Homo-oligomer: A and B are copies of this chain.
Amino acid sequence: MQNFEYCNKTKIIFGRGTENQAGAETAQYAKKILLHHSGGSTVRSGLIGRVKESLKNAGVQWTELTGVQPNPRLSLVKEGIDIAKKENVELVLAVGGGSAIDSAKAIAVGARNDGDIWDFFERKRSTNSALPIGTILTIPAAGSESSISCVITNEEGPWKRGINFECNRPVFSIMNPEMSYTLPPYQTACGITDMLAHTMERYFTREPHVELTDELCEGVMRTIIRNARKIFSGGENNYDARAEIMWAGALAHNNLLSTGRVGDWASHALDHELSALFDLAHGAGLAIIFPAWIKYNIKEDTPRLARFAAKVWGVDGAFYDMEQAALEGVFRMENFFRSIGMPVRLSETNIDLSRIPEMAKRVVHFGPIGQYRKLDEKDAQAIYKLAAE
C-alpha cells in the first residue's frame, strides 16, 4: 500500500425532495450565482422551477446560462466565464450530469483566473483558486459531483482534455435519485458504464497489498451491476435501485477507492479520442474500450484479472486456469454491457475505423498512457483494433 492523503469535503445531501434545500445551501456561500444547465430536460421536468423557487426563498439571485450538451464545449465555458466576471457571481450552481458540472467547474476556474482557460487543459498552468461549485445531480455517471475532475471538449481541434484541481471540488452536491427516473435508457446505461469504468480504472493497479480498497471496489461494482439489472428489467422508477446507482456513482469517483493505490486510466484516455473525434457518448466508448483493454493485457498480472472475473462477475474456475477465467470475465462484462444497450465494438458505432492510426497518435499526445501497463502509440493502435469488430 502506498502512502496517501485523503480528504473529501463535499457535503452530500441525498434523498427525496433534497432539491428544495438548494437555496439554503447556496445562501451559505453566495448572494448571487450563475445557474448553469442544459435548458432542456432540466426545465421540462420542473426541476429548474423548483430550484429557482428554493433560491428565491433563500434570497439568492441568479444569472442563467443554458445550452450545456454532452462532451461539454469550450465555447460555452468561455461564455460562462464572461458572464460570471461581468455579473460578479460568487458560486456556480450546476444542475444536470457530469457535462453541466464539468462545464461549471471550468467556468469557476476561469472566473478567478484571467488569461486563456484552455491553457489549464494544455497543462501549461495550474491553480488553487476557483469560485465555489454547487451541484444538483440528475444523471448518475461521472462522479463529478464530489470529484476534482473536469473534462472539456475544445471544438477547434477537436480535443477533449481534463483538469484536476482541488479547488474544483463541489462544496455541496444535492442528489435525489428520483431525478434520474426520466433519463432515456441509453443515458442511464452510459452512466452505469462510466461509474463501472471509474471503479475499474482504480481497481486495475499493480500496487500490492490493497485488500481493503479491492474489497470496496468489488462491492461497488457488484452493487452497480445488480441494480442496473433491476432498472433495465422494468425498474426505471425503482427508487431503491436508482438510489444505489446514484450513491455508487459518487463513491466510484470520490477517490476513496484510490487510497493507497495507483490507478490506470488508459481506457479513459483511449475513449477521449472517440468522444473528441466522433462525439460518441463517454459511457458508450468505455463499454467498447474496456473489454479490449483487458484482452490486450491478459498476461499482465493475470491473477488480478481472474480475481476481477471471480469477485465481480461470479466466474468460477480460476483455480484451474486463471487466464481462461479472466477471459470469461470479459465475456460476461460484454454481455452485461449489451444487455443494457451499450455497444461493445467500434463497428457498432459511427466511428470510421480507417482513422484508428490517427486516434492512436493523438492519444499519446502527452506521452505513454496507463499505469497498469504503459501503452505507447503501437499498443493504443492494437487495442483500438481489438475493439474494432
Question: Which A residues contact B (CB, under 8 angstroms)?
Answer: 1-18, 208-209, 211-212, 215-216, 218-220, 222-223, 226-227, 239-240, 243-244, 247-248, 251, 256, 259-260
Contacts and interface: CB of A to CB of B under 8 A. Distances in A.
4 smallest CB-CB distances across A and B, nearest first, come from A3-B15, A215-B219, A209-B240, A7-B11
B14 A3 contact: yes
Contacts of A227: 211
Contact of A10 (B7, B212, B216, B219): B7
Contact of A3 (B18, B226, B251, B256): B18
Nearest to A17: B3
11 contacts: A1-B239, A4-B12, A4-B14, A5-B11, A7-B9, A9-B9, A14-B259, A212-B223, A212-B251, A215-B218, A215-B223
Contacts of A16: 3
Contact of A1 (B12, B219, B243, B251): B243
Given A209-B244, A211-B226, 6 more contacts: A3-B14, A3-B17, A8-B8, A212-B247, A215-B222, A256-B256
Contacts of A17: 3
Contact of A12 (B7, B211, B244, B247): B7
Contacts of A8: 8
Contact of A244 (B1, B5, B11, B218): B1
A7 B169 CA distance: 13
Nearest to A172: B7
State the number of copies, please.
2
Nearest to A245: B212
Contacts of A226: 211
A226 B211 CA distance: 9
Given A7-B9, A8-B8, A212 B14 contact: no
A223 B244 contact: no
Contacts of A212: 219-220, 223, 244, 247-248, 251
A26 to B, nearest CB: 15
Nearest to A218: B219
A171 to B, nearest CB: 10
Contacts of A243: 1, 209, 260
Contact of A216 (B15, B208, B216, B260): B216
A207 to B, nearest CB: 11
A10 B15 CA distance: 24
Nearest to A248: B212
A251 B16 CA distance: 26
A12 B2 contact: no
A260 B247 CA distance: 10
A140 to B, nearest CB: 12
Contacts of A6: 11-12, 14
A354 to B, nearest CB: 43
Contacts of A12: 4-7, 259
A11 B12 CA distance: 17
A45 to B, nearest CB: 20
A251 to B, nearest CB: 7
A179 to B, nearest CB: 14
Contacts of A218: 215, 219
By CB atoms of chain B within 10 A, which of A15, A212, A218, A219 has the most? A212
A176 B209 CA distance: 16
A167 to B, nearest CB: 15
